């Protein structure tokens, strides 16, 4: 036990999370053989296997499963010590790990990173882009410091702060630019293209159209807003995108942008972080920078 290192515990946590040596090695930014060596050394130090290895799968042993929560608590405690040290200093500095959902990242990050680099060059900004459920998990585990997501999240352990409201707009083929925008009821009967399962923006669009996520939609889902807009340009259907995405996406395909008549579909974008994070006061400051960056992006809309 005396030879167990934090590095080995981090590698164990990554392998337990990914259940795949290649993906875990990528997440840890090391080679797969190096990860395998460290896991074997950890098992030798503990005197018992942590993983069952087959040709296609890696799974935790019973002892390994018992260790997961304890090791994650240890790693989170170590990370919080680092955060406490950063919080004790003056000004905004050091590593800042920000998670962002894919329907925000490409449009907000250029302005946000530019502001952070200009106003606080001493901050080492690290970005993680993935869907909301993954960000919530990684934030809870201490892998990121904060996340920019659509609210509400409703996790008691998280602090939420709203940053701005954003309207969803309709994307149709360019030839339909002069046609009246359909109602939400009419939209349900059209070929509505949506992001694949796991994206919160999908759920928001379905809610506006009063559709269930279980509705059969074979061939009508995409992995990104860019893909959806290209599909619309090709005449496959229509879609919704957040207003923030208009400037980037509308110029990439022969499409038109329309606002809905009557109540506009909107989403609330905000930041979340762990209530116990010693950097909480600094994250409030960061949230104001994010808010300012979003206002810059919104002002740039045609």
d(CA 135, CA 143): 9
Q: What is residue 128's three-state secondary structure?
A: strand
Specify the range with the lowest mean pLDDT, choosing from 19-33, 157-171, 203-217, 253-267: 203-217
Lowest-confidence segment of 107-121, 156-170, 211-225, 271-285 by average pLDDT: 211-225
Q: What is the mean pLDDT of the chain?
A: 88
Confidence of residue 92 (pLDDT cuts 50, 70, 90): low
What mean pLDDT do residues 253-274 have? 92
Tell me if domain 6-76 and domain 86-161+269-299 are identical in fold.
no
The whole-number pLDDT of residue 185 equals 84
- The predicted model scores a pTM of 0.77
- Calculate mean pLDDT across residues 39-48: 93
> Does position 55 have pLDDT exceeding 50, yes or no?
yes
Q: What is the CA radius of gyration of the chain?
A: 22
Q: Does domain 165-266 have CATH number 3.40.190.10?
A: yes
Write down the H helix ranges in 54-126: 62-88, 105-119
For 134-193, the pLDDT digits (tens) are 999 899 888 899 999 999 999 999 999 999 999 999 999 999 999 998 888 888 888 999
Residue 164's pLDDT is what?
95
Q: What is the mean pLDDT of residues 48-64?
A: 89
pLDDT at 301 over 60: no
How much of the chain exceeds pLDDT 70, in percent? 92
Rounded average pLDDT over 106-110 = 95
SS3 292: helix
For the ranges 8-12, 22-26, 118-122, 209-213, the lowest mean pLDDT is seen at 209-213
Least confident of 108-112, 141-145, 166-170, 264-268: 141-145
Domain 6-76 - what CATH class?
Answer: mainly alpha
What integer pLDDT is reported at residue 2 of this predicted model?
A: 65
How much is the average pLDDT of 97-103?
96
Residue 249 reports pLDDT greater than 50:
yes
Is residue 89 very low, low, confident or very high in pLDDT (cuts 50, 70, 90)? low
Residue 252, pLDDT score? 86
At residue 213, the pLDDT reads: 58
The rounded distance, in Å, linking the Cα atoms of 168 and 252 is 18
Q: Show me where the domains of the chain are located.
A: 6-76, 86-161+269-299, 165-266
Write down the residue that tokens 């920019």 correspond to. 148
Q: 198-217: per-residue pLDDT in tens?
A: 899 999 988 888 776 545 45
Mention the CATH class of domain 86-161+269-299.
Answer: alpha beta
- Evaluate if residue 90 carries a pLDDT over 70: no
Q: Which long-range contacts (CB under 8 A, 24 or more apart) does 10-18 make?
A: 10/75, 11/35, 11/38, 11/39, 11/42, 12/39, 12/42, 12/50, 12/64, 12/67, 12/71, 13/68, 13/71, 13/72, 13/75, 13/141, 15/39, 15/51, 15/58, 16/60, 16/64, 16/68
pLDDT at 216: 45
Q: Which helix (DSSP H) or strand (DSSP E) does residue 255 occupy?
A: strand 255-258
What is the mean pLDDT of the segment spanning 11-26? Answer: 90
CB atoms within 10 A of CB 180: 9
């Amino acid at each position: 036990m005396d030879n167990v290192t934090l590095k080995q515990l981090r590698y164990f946590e990554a392998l337990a999370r990914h259940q795949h040596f290649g993906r875990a090695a990528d997440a840890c930014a090391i080679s797969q053989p190096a990860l395998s060596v460290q896991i074997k050394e950890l098992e030798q130090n503990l005197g018992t296997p942590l993983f069952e290895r087959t040709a296609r799968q890696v799974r935790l042993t019973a002892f390994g499963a018992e260790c997961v929560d304890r090791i994650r608590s240890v790693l989170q405690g170590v990370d919080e010590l680092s955060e406490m040290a950063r919080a004790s200093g003056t000004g905004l500095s050091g590593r800042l790990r920000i998670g962002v959902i894919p329907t925000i990242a490409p449009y907000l990050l250029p302005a946000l990173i530019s502001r952070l680099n200009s106003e606080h060059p001493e901050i080492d900004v690290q970005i993680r882009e993935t869907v909301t459920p993954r960000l919530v998990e990684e934030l809870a585990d201490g892998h990121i410091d904060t996340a920019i997501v659509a609210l509400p999240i409703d996790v008691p352990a998280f602090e939420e702060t709203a940053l701005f409201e954003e309207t969803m707009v309709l994307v149709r083929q360019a030839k339909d630019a002069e046609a009246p925008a359909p109602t939400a009821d009419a939209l349900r009967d059209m070929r509505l293209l949506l992001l694949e399962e796991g994206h919160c923006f999908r759920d928001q669009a379905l809610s506006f159209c009063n559709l269930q996520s279980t509705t059969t939609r074979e061939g009508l889902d995409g992995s990104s807003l860019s893909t959806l807009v290209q599909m619309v340009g090709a005449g496959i259907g229509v879609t919704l995108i957040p207003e923030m995405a208009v400037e980037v996406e509308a110029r990439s395909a022969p499409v038109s942008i329309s606002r809905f008549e009557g109540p506009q579909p909107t989403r609330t974008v905000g930041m979340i972080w762990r209530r116990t994070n010693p950097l909480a006061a600094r994250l409030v400051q960061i949230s104001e920078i994010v808010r300012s960056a979003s206002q810059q992006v919104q002002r740039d809309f045609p």
